[in-house]
Structure 1
């Protein structure tokens, strides 16, 4: 039997007991009425009714004792039900808070596993001969066309990306994989972009750069997770940088799919908001799609990596990313905010 079933049973016992006490109270009132009528009739009968008057008096005393017992019973049950209510609410909150914090961790873990693969992709593709030749070869347009075709082939298999860019050391895009969707990008200067500058600072081909989720105006202002690394001469892990490869993860649909598939019941989803928060507690994904990239959520982890707390009528459950394999994560949180009284839901079922 689940805790919620036990609480429902307790409320049913309380309801039935109150109902029966109500019956006792009604019988007591009727007994008092009969006793009063009996005393009146005994008085009219004079001496002949004196014995009957004694019985009527006893009936009255009996009714008083029953009424007192009824009052004491109602008070005791009410007091104990209040304690059950308090304990039940705390237990329900603890159970749901712990479960929701586990689900919050699951959300951020799934996202990090996904992004770990992106960090592998960028380091792998940067060693592709077509990518290296695009920034090293003197052969011109044929080499760049071949590189663009190679990127397009990758994108047909890896549909989670909006585009892949090969950039020379001056910060000019020389090839991209979706020239049909994003025409005219070649020749565009992206040297001021954070992902480009961070990629040039990587120490070896084993390193990569990743930036916070942001909107990219060159990709129709879509929200992206940008991963990048230096393209190195001959594709050698310790070769000198000759360019940069930037890959742009299509953030919104992928993140929305992760938080929408969380294991919550339909009732739980109705009263809950599932979110991913970045290290600055900015909302980067939300089940209700509100505040994405604009809202800072007032999370209070209080130094904990995982946990939950109540704030008024809100239950806030959270978990800090644990990272995945060699991907340390970006300090993101999974977070579930639920509202309403859990105890009231049990009491009113």
Structure 2
């Protein structure tokens, strides 16, 4: 118990409710001692064993008091630790998920035919320079996470660059040679580089560009992408600190240098600190809770050796939650989180004291010691007071548990909504960019003019689509179709029977063929489709433009999103985490449309396409709204955290696509 006493001394100053209960219990303990002393002095005729029983029962009470205080502090600690750990893990995992997508981007763009052909030219003319400049601009217009792209010759000369503020003409950065001759598929670095001299530090993704000459492969340059690192971290900080800006969120490298900071006044970027130390739980130090987290990994990608750190003053960490809303649920005695042990111990102490009082009254009457009866009456008052305090105490601990669960599910809902938007942002980018592939445009333009594609041309279309799909495995198929909606090529050879037949997505393909901009795209409803084995999913479409007339559409590209495993992974990664196994196993998350159609659920009993009877409260919230509520499903009460998706960057905020989705995290009580 000694360790718990130390925790008491450390944390009760931040916990007024604990201090209140402790004061009440100590008052009863003092009154118990006083009454026992009076009884001992003034009642020599009484059986001494009775007083011994009173003292022993008092010790039981004191143990229960310490257990109660320990339980309450532990709950407050769990609540504070949970929030700190969730924010830390979410920080590093969100940036790591984003950067995983960049590794696919650099791999694909380095093999783009237009970039390869341009780099193969020893002296490109003005028209070729203009073409490649436009190509880079189109890319960043879609993948807005980049602020610059540079193409370098093997000797370090700059062949093309996107950002006019970049004055680089030549680079001596060693990453060029690493990319040219290294064994890695790509180079990922974060430091200053003369490739992007306008930045203090740059997060760069680099890959060699190669040209095939018969059986010979020649390395002809290096592609470098500059990621909007500071902007992206600010977006993450805004999401994770929107409820409470008092948390200090930092991103550090393995040496302890601050790379990004949500508190630049106290911890500016570039600040040198001690190297990160991982621990199972937050460490209390200097009146703060502190915790480091490293990426859990996404699709095997761990990224650079970075760590997130959360720091929060104890006064803030243990402060009463002002944003918790009453959801009208109580923890039932059947719940795994119900404090049965404390209730049983409370009953034991009350019973022991009642037995002592009854024995005392019987003995007093037998021995005609009437003067001891007031003493026993005082103990009866103490017993009632203690029972009332402990009842209120246990009720309060249960309320703290519900508050903790509310915090967990609310945060999980927020994370799930954010990760869904970020993931689908990439899908909207992919379809628009791949629709601009020059080979696609040239061949579909010929086809649109009435020229039948020969076997070699069809094979080339299949090859390109298959290569793209091998890099971007979140799709089950990528399909090219003409202006009549007839399938011309697919990425999945197992679905070759689609070629030469109607795509079948008439509403969506027609909408795609009416798109008037290379920035436009359209997405199917979440519905069953033969293109996804008669299961529901999203299909992303973008128009393929005529090679000679960018205003004319000659076909479209359709990306069949592999929704089941992708959405399930998103939900699993963001589910609330609990130490109690039964609660963890019974918790789950879901994505659901406002019409009740279930998009995905981490619980096997709820299949995509199922129509849920949503509570009315969920139907009245705008984008970005978050909160908690109680919801009874199949006779079981759940604490539900929710967030309506609000988009990411321009996706669903300014690109014309409207598709509000509810992210829900559910925990039974």
Does TM, scored on the shorter chain, surpass 0.5?
yes
Mean CA deviation greater in 140-149 or 77-86: 77-86
Cα drift, residue 321 of structure 1: 0.9
Cα drift, residue 11 of structure 1: 8.8
Aligned to 1:98: 407
Cα drift, residue 166 of structure 1: 0.9
Taking a change above 3 Å as real, the CA distance of residues 82 and 22 of structure 1, as seen in their structure-2 partners, is closer
Structure 2 residue corresponding to 1:281, chosen from 579, 587, 596: 596
Contact 1:109–1:323 (Cα < 8 Å) also in 2: yes
Structure 2 residue corresponding to 1:303, chosen from 603, 616, 621: 621
Structure 2 residue corresponding to 1:242, chosen from 539, 554, 567: 554
Aligned to 2:317: none
Question: Aligned equivalents of 2:352 and 2:345: distance in 1?
Answer: 11
Taking a change above 3 Å as real, the CA distance of residues 95 and 65 of structure 1, as seen in their structure-2 partners, is same
Matches within 5 A, 1:141-152: 141=454, 142-152=456-466
- Between structure 1 and structure 2, the one with the greater Rg is 1
Contact 1:165–1:175 (Cα < 8 Å) also in 2: yes
Aligned to 2:370: 60
What is the CA deviation profile of residues 179-199 of structure 1, one whole-angstrom value per residue up to 9, with x for unaligned ones?
Answer: x21121112113653321221
Cα drift, residue 249 of structure 1: 0.9
TM-score by length of 1: 0.81
Contact 1:166–1:245 (Cα < 8 Å) also in 2: yes
Contact 2:462–2:489 (Cα < 8 Å) also in 1: yes
1:221 aligns with 2:534: yes
Aligned to 1:336: 665
Contact 2:346–2:387 (Cα < 8 Å) also in 1: no
When the two chains are superposed, the root-mean-square deviation of aligned CA atoms in Å is 2.9
| Secondary structure in 1 matching 2:659 | coil
Aligned to 1:252: 564
Cα drift, residue 156 of structure 1: 1.5
Question: Aligned equivalents of 1:28 and 1:166: distance in 2?
Answer: 87
Mean CA deviation greater in 125-134 or 7-16: 7-16
Question: Aligned equivalents of 1:272 and 1:235: distance in 2?
Answer: 55
Question: Aligned equivalents of 1:117 and 1:143: distance in 2?
Answer: 29
Aligned to 1:42: none
Question: Aligned equivalents of 2:646 and 2:548: distance in 1?
Answer: 32
What is the CA deviation profile of residues 40-84 of structure 1, one whole-angstrom value per residue up to 9, with x for unaligned ones?
Answer: xxxxxxxxxxxxxxxx3xx2341x223322332232223333333
Structure 2 residue corresponding to 1:181, chosen from 494, 501, 504: 494
Matches within 5 A, 1:155-170: 155-170=469-484
Cα drift, residue 151 of structure 1: 0.6
Mean CA deviation greater in 242-251 or 136-145: 136-145
Structure of greater relative contact order (alpha carbons < 8 Å, 6+ residues apart): 1
Matches within 5 A, 1:1-349: 5-6=71-72, 19-20=348-349, 22-38=351-367, 56=368, 59-62=369-372, 64-137=373-446, 138=451, 140-141=453-454, 142-178=456-492, 180-190=493-503, 192-234=505-547, 238-262=550-574, 263-265=576-578, 266-289=581-604, 290-299=606-615, 300-301=617-618, 302-303=620-621, 305-311=625-631, 313-328=637-652, 330-340=659-669
| Secondary structure in 2 matching 1:333 | strand
Question: Aligned equivalents of 1:86 and 1:152: distance in 2?
Answer: 60
| Secondary structure in 1 matching 2:428 | helix
| Secondary structure in 2 matching 1:309 | strand
Mean CA deviation greater in 100-109 or 139-148: 139-148
What is the CA deviation profile of residues 167-224 of structure 1, one whole-angstrom value per residue up to 9, with x for unaligned ones?
Answer: 111111111111x211211121136533212212322010111123222214422433
| Secondary structure in 1 matching 2:627 | strand
Aligned to 1:49: none
Question: Aligned equivalents of 2:573 and 2:583: distance in 1?
Answer: 13
Question: Aligned equivalents of 2:353 and 2:470: distance in 1?
Answer: 78
Cα drift, residue 253 of structure 1: 0.9
Aligned to 1:51: none
Cα drift, residue 109 of structure 1: 1.3
Contact 1:224–1:249 (Cα < 8 Å) also in 2: yes
Q: How many residue pairs end up in the alignment?
A: 318
Question: Aligned equivalents of 2:363 and 2:610: distance in 1?
Answer: 75
Cα drift, residue 19 of structure 1: 4.5
